């Protein structure tokens, strides 16, 4: 019996791995840890062959069937699907940079903020692509990746080195899921990087210091817009970037809410900030100054 999308999605792990058949040699391998892999089984003469067609859900049921059918298009000419797949992979662009950019397009864009996508792209472009970009992803070794990370550490950017390591690992895992790599060599570098030192930010932890801060805010000499931004931050506890990019259209005076749309949030979920009466008054006082523009706290 052929598989269904629901059947594939709901296949539960067991104590031992097992396989679910879809027909014409296509099987879904379900591991005890819950991971699912597509396998194509067929015979050439009296020898059984197996091919990996990717990992579910990166490769869905429909995509797996398409791959199977493409490999079986010319069986009458004696073609071995494994050789056909190998030939396709040989002509396919397996360069690290190409796959990394594909991962960014398919796995990051539309899921996280444009700012985060830009940061990931730039870190890979500046640090990883110059040394790894043109290399076949299947041939990249752990020492080659470590060379990239050591150069970052030489600039005393240990945190950036750890980030680039994480990004590279995700690129390799994406390549594995799409059938273009066998393993993630970044896993072999565990413990090889210099640790990141945590830098604790100064914080006000007693009432006396808080009084001094509020007094300083009250006596602040500056433009009305800057002063409003300072108090708006204190009342809402929002990030400076969120306050700077707040728009009048997001403020609901009747409901006393600031509704930040999903596209501005890292987790791509809308965020609602309740506004106290003091904030509503502050915004209404500010509106005659900046109300004609798009933003309420742009300086």
pLDDT tens readout for residues 125-137? 999 999 999 899 9
* Structural domain ending residue among the three candidates 189, 216, 242: 189
Distance from C-alpha of 189 to C-alpha of 56, rounded to nearest angstrom: 27
Strand order in the sheet with 18-23: 18-23, 26-30, 36-44, 47-56
* Structural domain ending residue among the three candidates 155, 189, 223: 189
Mean pLDDT of the chain: 85
* Structural domain ending residue among the three candidates 76, 108, 134: 76
Query: What is the model's pTM?
Result: 0.50
- pLDDT over threshold 70, residue 278: yes
Residues 6+ away with beta carbon under 8 Å from 276 = 235, 256
131 domain residue, yes or no: yes
Please state the φ and ψ torsions of residue 295, each to the nearest 5 degrees. -105, 150
pLDDT, tens only, 50-62: 888 888 888 889 8
Residues 6+ away with beta carbon under 8 Å from 252 = 258, 259
Say how many C-beta atoms besides its own lie within 10 A of residue 244's C-beta.
15
Range of the domain at 30: 5-76
pLDDT, tens only, 75-116: 444 566 666 665 555 545 788 999 999 999 888 877 777 888
Residues 6+ away with beta carbon under 8 Å from 296 = 246, 247, 248, 251, 283, 286, 287, 290
CATH number, domain of 101, equals: 1.10.150.130
Identify whether residues 167 and 217 lie together within a single domain.
no
Copy the structure tokens of residue 13. Answer: 């792990």
* Residues 257-261, mean pLDDT to the nearest whole number: 91
Q: How many helices (H) and strands (E) does the chain have?
A: 12, 7
Residues 6+ away with beta carbon under 8 Å from 237 = none
Distance from C-alpha of 11 to C-alpha of 240, rounded to nearest angstrom: 46
Instruction: Burial-class residue 32 by CB neighbours within 10 Å (0-12, 13-18, 19+).
Output: exposed
Spell out the alpha helix ranges (H) of the chain: 5-9, 61-71, 81-91, 96-103, 114-123, 129-132, 142-154, 158-177, 207-218, 224-236, 240-244, 277-290
Tell me which DSSP letter residue 254 carries: T
* Residues 136-163, mean pLDDT to the nearest whole number: 94
CATH number, domain of 57, equals: 3.30.160.390
Identify whether residues 21 and 52 lie together within a single domain.
yes
């Amino acid at each position: 019996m052929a598989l269904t999308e629901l059947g594939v999605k709901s296949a539960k792990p067991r104590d031992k791995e097992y396989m679910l058949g879809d027909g014409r040699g296509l099987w879904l391998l379900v591991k005890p840890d819950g991971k699912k892999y597509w396998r194509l089984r067929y015979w050439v003469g009296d020898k059984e062959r197996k091919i990996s067609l990717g990992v579910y859900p990166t490769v869905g049921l429909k995509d797996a069937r398409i791959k199977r059918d493409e490999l079986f298009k010319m069986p009458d000419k004696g073609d071995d699907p494994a050789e056909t797949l190998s030939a396709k992979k040989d002509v396919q662009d397996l360069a690290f940079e190409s796959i990394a950019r594909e991962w960014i397009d398919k796995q990051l864009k539309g899921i996280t903020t444009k700012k985060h996508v830009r940061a990931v792209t730039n870190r890979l472009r500046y640090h990883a692509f110059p040394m790894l970009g043109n290399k076949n992803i299947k041939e990249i070794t752990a020492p080659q990746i470590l060379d990239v990370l050591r150069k970052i550490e030489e600039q005393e950017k240990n945190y950036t080195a750890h980030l680039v390591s994480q990004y590279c690992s995700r690129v390799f895992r994406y390549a594995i899921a799409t059938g273009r790599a066998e393993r993630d060599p970044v896993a072999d570098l565990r413990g090889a990087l210099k640790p990141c030192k945590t830098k604790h930010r100064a914080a006000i932890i007693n009432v006396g210091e808080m009084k001094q801060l509020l007094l300083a805010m009250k006596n602040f000499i500056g433009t009305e817009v800057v002063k409003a931004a300072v108090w708006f931050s204190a009342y809402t506890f929002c990030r400076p970037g969120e306050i700077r990019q707040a728009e009048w259209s997001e403020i609901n005076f009747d409901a006393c809410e600031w509704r930040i749309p999903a596209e501005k949030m890292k987790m791509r979920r809308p965020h609602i900030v309740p506004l106290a009466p003091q904030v509503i008054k502050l915004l209404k006082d500010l509106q005659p100054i900046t109300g004609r523009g798009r933003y309420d706290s742009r300086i």
